[in-house]
Copies of this chain bind each other. A is one copy, B any other.
Amino acid sequence: MAEVRIGLVGAGWMGKAHTNAFVNAQLLFGSEFGKPVFEVVADVNMDLVKQASRQLGYARYTDNWKEVVADPNVDVVDIATPNAFHYEVAKAALEHDKHVYCEKPLTLSAEQSKELAELAKQKGVVNYVGYNNVMNPATAYIRELVASGKLGTIVRFSGTYDQDMLLDALLPITWRHINKYSGSGALGDLGSHLFSVSQVILGDIKRVNALSKIVIEKRQKQAGSSELVDVENDDLIVITAEYENGAIGTFGTSRIAAGRKNYLSYEIQGTLGSVYYSLESLNEVHVYFTSDESRDRGFRKVFLGPDHAGFSALNPASGIAIGFNDIKILEVNQLLSAITKGTDYVCDFNFGWKIDRTISAILMSAAEKRWVDVL
């Protein structure tokens, strides 16, 4: 039962969420692997990192992430910074032969992600991208429905990931609006989650066509400041696509979608059945089978439960709701299991690259207003 020693880079929302997930994964799956050891946390914001280290229980803190990746007492480097820093930190961590757990999207470009995926493979370390929705028991269930053939040949995926967190035009600019920190707008931030789910269920995407829009063109530099700066990336983007397997895809994502809170929502239509799902109603999967008797046929509202992979570690019975943080626990369990026991996992850097190349092709399509192949 090996201990796993963690070095965290980035002590914001996700840094905190990861740390809690490490603790809970050990609580729930503790017989399987040892206690997480919180070695060191880094954040450029010194005040924040000091306070975070105390509250989250890290032994040491620093404002220099390079100390973390070089620390001999660190087994896994956990990267929870804004997107732009993922590449640099992950690369350095890999070069120090660390396991790497990196938030999504992996990097800002298909090229960078490809490079990291290859380096990770060469190093033979665990390389995990935080696409937590892949670990949602709903996703596991839907994957099985599709893989088993119960829905027939899949002909269509339609999905959107909409939020309205950034709808208020008076909210000041954030790193998410500036390309050098984020790479893209709603697309990389939210859309990448949608692609992770879509691709884990249906496989790779072949060609894309996109239409992108900045709705709130300028924002305050800081709250209350009269200086305005440009929003550089998509508030809203819509995409049509062809999958390698011949299915048709439509995707959308918006960070300014009035009324939509966490609307990662999609429908998959096959020749024998369909399924739809929304993350806003996290515990409910709707599935339809043409094989049901005609009179009684309808979408079934299935509550997540012990029949769906991952659930039973969290709650003993269907209908007892799980939440966002529970899914992050399942993700960290996968990671810890891979580190301590060498088990398989889906969201490796190669998978991260497959999302990022979809995003890269979409950005090119939106810029050039034409179909672009995903390469």
Name A residues whose Cβ lies closer than 8 Å to a Cβ of B: 13, 19-20, 23-24, 27-28, 30-31, 54-57, 141, 151-153, 155-156, 158, 160, 162-165, 167, 169, 209-211, 213, 215, 235-236, 238-240, 242, 248, 250, 252, 254, 256-263, 269-274, 279-290, 292, 294-303, 305, 307-308, 314-326, 369-371
Q: Are A325 and B326 in contact (CB under 8 A)?
A: yes
Asked if residues A213 and B248 are in contact (CB atoms below 8 Å), the reply is yes
Task: Tell me which residues across on chain B come within 8 A of A297, comparing CB atoms.
Answer: 259, 300, 302
A369 to B163, CA, bound (A): 31
| A320, B315: Cβ atoms closer than 8 Å | no
Q: Which residue of B is nearest A369, CB measured?
A: B371
> Does B27 lie within 8 Å of A262, measured CB to CB?
no
Q: Of B56, B153, B370, which one neighbours A371 at CB under 8 angstroms?
A: B370
A321 contacts which of B13, B282, B370 (Cβ < 8 Å)?
Answer: B282
9 sampled A-B residue pairs with Cβ under 8 A:
A155-B256, A209-B240, A239-B240, A254-B269, A282-B283, A286-B301, A296-B300, A299-B301, A315-B323
CA–CA, A236 to B284, complex, Å?
26
CB-defined contacts of A55 to chain B, threshold 8 Å:
27, 30-31
For chain A, what secondary structure do more than half of its interface residues adopt (helix, strand, loop), or is it mixed? mixed
Contact of A323 among B151, B160, B254, B326 (CB under 8 A): B326
Which residues of B are found within 8 Å of A280, using beta-carbon distances? 283, 303, 319, 321
In Å, the complex CA distance between A326 and B17 comes to 13
Task: Among A19, A158, A292, A314, find the residue whose CB has the most chain B CB atoms closer than 10 A.
Answer: A158
Q: A27-B20, A274-B259 are in contact. Are A236 and B156 (CB under 8 A)?
A: yes
CB of A3 to closest CB in B, whole Å: 15
Residues of B within 8 A of A282 (CB): 283, 321, 323
Q: Which of B261, B285, B314 contacts A317 (CB 8 A)?
A: B261
Contact yes or no, A262 B20, CB < 8 A: no
> Would A301 and B302 be within 8 Å (CB), given that A155-B213, A155-B215, A280-B319 are in contact?
no
Q: Please pick, from B54, B290, B303, B370, the residue contacting A261 in the complex, using a CB distance under 8 A.
A: B303
Residues on B with C-beta less than 8 A from A56 are: 27
Contacts of A263 on B, CB cut-off 8 Å? 319
A270: chain B residues within 8 A (beta carbon): 258
Question: Taking CB as reference atom, which chain B residue is nearest A287?
Answer: B296
B325–A314 CB distance below 8 A: yes
Give the residue name and chain of the B residue nearest to A285 (CB): B298
